[in-house]
Amino acid sequence: MQLGIIRWISILAVLAVIAVTGSGFFGYAKFSQPGPSLSNRAVVIPNGLGVDAIAELLRSNGIIQYPVLLRIGARLYEPEAPLKAGEFTFPKGVSARRVLDILRHGKTVVRRLTVAEGLTTQEIRARLSATEGLRGALPAEFGEGEFLPETYHFSYGDSRKEIVRRMREAMARAIEKLWLRRAPDLPLNNPAEAVVLASIIEKETGLAEERARVAGVFINRLRRGMRLQSDPTVVYALTGGRGELGRRLTHADLKHPDPYNTYMHKGLPPGPIANPGLAALEAALNPAETGDLYFVADGKGGHIFARTLKAHNRNVRRWRRLQKDRQTGR
């Protein structure tokens, strides 16, 4: 009788070992086989989530099918390596095992914020506030012309203050470098004045081949004590840096009594009117050597330059005729 009981116990023990072993092989196979996702998908893992919550988040996003496999795998497979927070891209059909590798050793998704040349600080501030993936408030105040327009990379959860710091430092480095190799005898007293002039150049022309020549015109006018008479400075005076005016300037606008109005005041305005890019900064500090003192739009996206007021007035009349013809549909 006792031998029979012992035999049955032995049989049951063997069956239990077989069952455990079999389920282990089954579980490992499920752990390593492709998951249910049908395409690459980015998922944000918030800070502070535990393994259970992460597994459920990934299941709800269609990345894994069985959260229990991820939970067990996290405890058995490299348990000393923590799961990271951030935004991760999970490939199509990724296995639970590969998911753990990504969460432990993978790189977070790189996002991009592109700041175009010539945006005002208020426009950049609005863009930063609306950029998804950044956290935190912006600094209470920052000045015009402090930021270098370019593409900035960041990860989900980076702070807005950090992006602002990087943009400021990029501008400071750029103007410091360019100032050291500026053309001799410029009528600019310091790098801050160079940024002011570059911001005007940035708003006057979007053509790369014109920047240095536009800069040359303004440098010539500064040397002669002439007013710059730049339309974009009037727009800035009227809008307070909020952006585009949305209409043509009038003769009354040109008489607007504001320190930024370079039709009313000689020299540079009190500060930048936008955030200039590297090319505009380079043009301001290395202008073309030219005898030009005037320019006006040519109707094709560029400008016609002139050395004398007589020639300039002729170009202005041509431009006005072109505008009139366009309005009448000729």
Q: Which amino acid, one-letter code, is at 180?
A: L
Supply the pLDDT for residue 21: 43
b/e map 95-106, b = 16+ CB within 10 Å: bbbbbbebbeeb
Q: How confident is the model at residue 5 (pLDDT cuts 50, 70, 90)?
A: low
Topology at the third CATH level for domain 30-105: Dna Ligase; domain 1 (3.30.1490)
Q: How confident is the model at residue 12 (pLDDT cuts 50, 70, 90)?
A: very low
Virtual CA dihedral for 32, 36, 41, 43, nearest 10 degrees?
-80
pLDDT one-digit tens code per residue, 292-308: 999 998 888 899 999 99
Virtual CA dihedral for 215, 221, 227, 230, nearest 10 degrees?
-20
β 294-297/86-90 pair status: unpaired
pLDDT one-digit tens code per residue, 189-212: 999 999 999 999 999 999 999 999
pLDDT one-digit tens code per residue, 264-320: 999 999 999 999 999 999 999 999 999 999 999 888 889 999 999 999 989 888 888
Q: Give the global pTM.
A: 0.80
Locate 136 and state its tokens. Answer: 């935190």
Supply the pLDDT for residue 59: 92
pLDDT one-digit tens code per residue, 13-47: 433 433 444 444 445 577 888 989 899 999 999 88
175 strand-pairing partners: none
Report the C-alpha gap between 25 and 31 in whole angstroms.
10
Helix 67-76 crosses helix 2-32 at what angle (to 10 degrees)? 100
Contact 119, 167 (CB under 8 A): no
Contact 157, 135 (CB under 8 A): yes
Would you list the domain boundaries of the chain?
30-105, 110-169, 190-328
Nearest CA-CA partner of 218 in 272, 280, 293, 289: 293
For residue 179, pLDDT over 80 is answered with yes
Supply the pLDDT for residue 253: 95
For residue 11, pLDDT over 90 is answered with no
